[in-house]
Structure formats: structure tokens, C-alpha cells
A = this chain, B = another copy of it.
Amino acid sequence: MAHHIGNATTSADWSRQCNDLIHRVCSLYPKNFVGVCQLPQSPGVPPQNVIGELERCVNEFGFIGCNLNPDPSGGHWTAPALTDKYWYPVYEKMVELDVPAMVHVSSSCNPVFHATGAHYINADTTAFMQFIQGDLFKDFPTLRFIIPHGGGAVPFHWGRYRGLAQDMKRPILEDHLLKNVFFDTCVYHQAGLDLLTKIVPIDNILFGSEMVGAVRGIDPESNQYYDDTKKYIDKQNWISDADKKKIFEGNARKVYPRINKKI
């Protein structure tokens, strides 16, 4: 998305080009793809600026969700927290259209943060902690976010997040966040995905794979692509078929309800 490049006009033009291209792919392969859009964010530009493109993609193209970048600066983290009212105009439109957002950053232009190895994962962790601190879902009970990469560091530190919420007198995570916040399965090894599905409620896990993702190679330990995440889930024989169906399909239909009008 490269929201840090150029200005709001650059971002608007580039987002339209990308979303038009996504729409074209979805139109060519309607049994394979359904679209979500990038939003024309720019550092320092109010988020309401993205509403027109979100409406265009949902209403004209039939897209079912969007991607919200919590850090359009690309690693300098100059935007307010996701729970700040700064973002509320976007949330009002998301609720009205009944579309969720994946919370995913773009390039890092801060040299300390490797994009896929640090910035992505840090953003996931940061967003989840912002949601713990805030009361966003009291104001928007039907607003929904997906945190990619299995939630960053969150499942590994689930006790820390449960404990921080408790020390801060927040409700337990199930009540405070888990009707609104979901994790994908983009974790590239068996033990990591095992932790995710054992710790995070099944209803909060949406299947995610990669094309093209952060890691392109084949794991010499398994002779499979690191990012072929379905294979890890297939091996989880303690998850019932009904629960696997939730991970692979059912949860996506709930979180992205507009998909039901398409497929």
C-alpha cells in the first residue's frame, strides 16, 4: 500500500488502481476470489478521507472488507491509537456497510524495523494492546477487526494480556474484545499454530494463507512451504471437523457477512 509515499492524491490514485485490479481478478475468477480493498490513507491526513473509496469498493464492486493501516507513516507511528476518535468516521462507515477491517501495516521506512520480520508483527501486537486499553467496542458493538499473523505476539503472551487487562480493571478478554477481534492463521510452523488454536477461542480464528507472503521458501525440516498454513491445521487432530469448518469457512462468513451474498 505504501501509504508513506507521495501525498493524499498519490494515495487516492494508487488505491483506485489497486482496487480496480483486485476487482478485475475477482471478476475473472469469481469462484476463487472475493475482494477486500486497500484504503487511501496518508500520514497526517484525516481518516474520513478514505470513506469514498471504501463505499466505491463495497457498493460498486461488492467487496466485503477493507484493510486499515494503523501506521500510514510506515514505521514512525505518528497516527493516534486505533481507539482514538480520530478513526471514528471510518468505523461509522464500516458499521453502516457491515464490513470488517484487517489491521495491517505496509512498508517500513524506519530502518530499525524489518518490514515483515518486525514492523508487521509489532503492529499486530500494538493494535491488540490498544484495544485492551480502550473502550472502542462499547461505542461500536458490531465493529470487527482481524489481526493478521496469528495476532503478532499476542497468543504467545496471552497470560500477559489477560493479566494486563485484569490489572487495568478491564473486563476479561472474552467480554472485552473477542466479539470484535479475530486472528488469522498466518503462523509458519506447527508449534506456533498449535499454540494459536489451543489458546485463542476457535470462533476467533480465521484461516489465512499467503500468496505471496513474507516467506517464500521450503522448510527443510518439513519439506513443505513455510507459509502453507493449511497443512499445519490439517495435522491438528484434536480439533473437531465442525471446528475446522469454522476456521476454514464459518468464521469468515460471520466476520465478513457480505461474503454470503457472493458465494
Contact = CB atoms under 8 A, between A and B. Distances in A.
Given A112-B126, A195-B192, A226 B156 contact: no
Contacts of A18: none
A163 B187 CA distance: 11
Interface stretch (A5-13, A73-81, A90-98): A73-81
A259 interface: no
Nearest to A227: B163
Interface string A102-146: 000000001111101110011001100110110000000000000
A198 interface: yes
Contact of A226 (B118, B132, B149, B159): B159
Interface string A181-196: 0000001111110011
A56 interface: no
Interface string A160-187: 1111101100000000000000000001
Contacts of A71: 112
A222 to B, nearest CB: 9
24 contacts: A70-B112, A80-B111, A116-B164, A117-B125, A117-B161, A118-B122, A121-B160, A122-B125, A125-B153, A149-B160, A150-B157, A153-B153, A155-B192, A156-B187, A157-B189, A160-B187, A160-B188, A160-B189, A162-B189, A163-B219, A167-B216, A167-B217, A191-B199, A192-B195
Interface residues of A, number: 57
Contacts of A25: none
A116 B118 CA distance: 17
A158 interface: yes
Select the residue from A71, A111, A191 with max chain B CB neighbours within 10 A. Answer: A191
A117 B191 contact: no
B166 A217 contact: yes
Nearest to A226: B163
